[in-house]
Amino acid sequence: MFERIAFDPEIMGGRACICGMRIPVSVIVGQIAHGATIEEILTDYPELESADIQQALEYAAWLAQEEVRLV
């Protein structure tokens, strides 16, 4: 489902990272949330591709699809 995202307990404590890199999804999403553009992130992390950033955002959106039950 998320072929560009990996979970490895030996890398970054198992946090969601871009495959083959030590760049956590949370770092990418956090930078976008604080106003960084995709171009700025690609400049800061030249090993990333725009598809990596897109998939990081898709993964974050997927995680946010939580169901809240009010009792």
Crossing angle (nearest 10°) for helices 50-63 and 25-33: 90
What is the average pLDDT across 58-69? 87
pLDDT greater at residue 67 or residue 56: 56
Contacts of 7 (CB under 8 A, 6+ apart): 14, 15, 16, 17
* All domains of the chain in start order, with CATH: 5-63 (1.10.10.10)
- Condensed to tens digits (0 to 9), the pLDDT of residues 16-48 reads 999 999 999 999 999 999 999 999 999 999 999
Q: Provide the mean pLDDT of the chain.
A: 94
For the entire predicted model, the pTM comes to: 0.87
Contacts of 12 (CB under 8 A, 6+ apart): 22, 24
